[in-house]
Amino acid sequence: MNPKITKLPPIWNIVNMVVLGTLALVCAFPIMHIFALSLSSATAANSGLVTVFPIDFTLQSYQFVIENPAFVRAFGISLMRVLVGTPISMILTVLVAYPLSRNRGEFRARDFFVWFFLITVLFSGGMIPYYMVIRQTGLIDSFWALVIPGALPVFNVILLVNFFRNIPKELEEAAAMDGATHWDILFRVLLPLSLPILATLTLFVAVGHWNSWFDGLLLMNSPDKYPLQSYLQTVIINPDPRFLSERDLALLQIISNRTTRAAQIFIAMIPILVVYPFLQRYFITGLKMGSVKG
């Protein structure tokens, strides 16, 4: 907000706020509607009475979902991939960003490696050769296929390289005078100064892991190894009777399919909603910190 800018005439100010308010409502409404559906009774949901408030409030759908072992297992796999995959990605990001942030005098092969990693973003073998490689490496159907192949987020490396380069050189030079090695400079000088951007990148990697679904679908043969988003793909978006147990089918007769779908969608959103305040706070700072200056 720029305090110096002239204010709008009052009537336009109101029009402006009404339009923006409507936009915000359009964004919020679908999410509120799904939340309301998940807390409504099956009859209310099916008769189209529910808008943004639950009707015949009930937690039955949530109870059904939480008692479904397949859902709980998929939720656990997603949690695991976030907890295991995020640290691996962050360690790799830091270890790659440091050498690439050196100038050519200090690291003669720097430009070669910049291109080595950049090429992986610019060009890819495509879906089928990728699938074949994963199969060759024996990772198909293994949890590690969700964590290892995509462990280096090159875009995050770029942000961190730019951030490192904006830290005053004098700090490193002083440390180097005292005989600091590259490891010392990275871990004792640069990283302690980079905590905010590291927090930002960590959050983004974690959200990325939580939201990934295609790798699970492509690389896992059995649905009991699916992370939550892939599991939801097969039960909500693209329902396949093979994946529904008899218990599921029987219970679905009693509880509306629609309200349980809504409950599953909402539960999958909860982790994002929990970290959302942090995402919002760090995003702009992270973006600005990693941008190029000079």
Partner 1 sequence: MAKTKTIKINREFPLYLMLLPAVILALVFSYGPMVGIVMAFQRVLPGKGLFGSPWIGWDNFKYVFQMPNFYQVIWNTVFIAGLKAIAGVIVPVSVALMLNNVTSKLFKRTVQTVVYLPHFLSWIILAGIFVDILSPSDGVVNLLLKAVGMQPIFFLGNDNVFPWTMVATDIWKSFGFGTIVYLAALTDIDPTLYEAATVDGANRWQQTWHITLPGIMGTIIMLTTLSLGNILNAGFDQIFNLYSPLVYRTGDIIDTLVYRTGIANYQYGVATAVGLFKSVVSLLLIGIAYKLAAKFADYRIF
Contact between 274 and partner 1 by CB under 8 A: the answer reads no
- The answer to whether the Cα torsion of 162, 164, 169, 173 is positive or negative is negative
Q: One symbol per residue from 129 to 148: x for binding partner 1 (CB under 8 A), - otherwise; what is it?
A: xxxxxx-xx----------x
C-alpha to C-alpha distance for 99 and 107, rounded to whole angstroms: 7
Which of 39, 65, 90, 96: binder of partner 1 (CB under 8 A)? 96
Q: One symbol per residue from 221 to 260: x for binding partner 1 (CB under 8 A), - otherwise; what is it?
A: --------x--xx--xxx-------------------x--
Residues 61, 257: contact at Cβ < 8 Å? no
Q: Within the chain, what is the greatest distance between any pair of CA atoms?
A: 76
Contact between 278 and partner 1 by CB under 8 A: the answer reads no
C-alpha to C-alpha distance for 205 and 211, rounded to whole angstroms: 10
Compute CA distances 283 → 100, 168, 197, 198, 286, whole Å: 23, 23, 9, 11, 5
C-alpha to C-alpha distance for 196 and 202, rounded to whole angstroms: 10
CB of 117 to partner 1, least distance (A): 6
Which of 92, 140, 180, 189: binder of partner 1 (CB under 8 A)? 92
Binding part of the chain for partner 1, among 79-87, 192-200, 247-255, 268-276 by CB under 8 A, reads 268-276
Residues 167-206 that bind partner 1 (CB under 8 A): 181-183, 186
- Residue 189 burial (10 A CB sphere; 0-12, 13-18, 19+): middle
CB of 216 to partner 1, least distance (A): 10
Query: Tokens standing for 48?
Result: 């189209």
Residues 22-61 that bind partner 1 (CB under 8 A): 23-24, 26-28, 30-31, 33-34, 37, 46, 48, 50-51
Of residues 246 and 294, the one with the C-beta less far from partner 1? 294
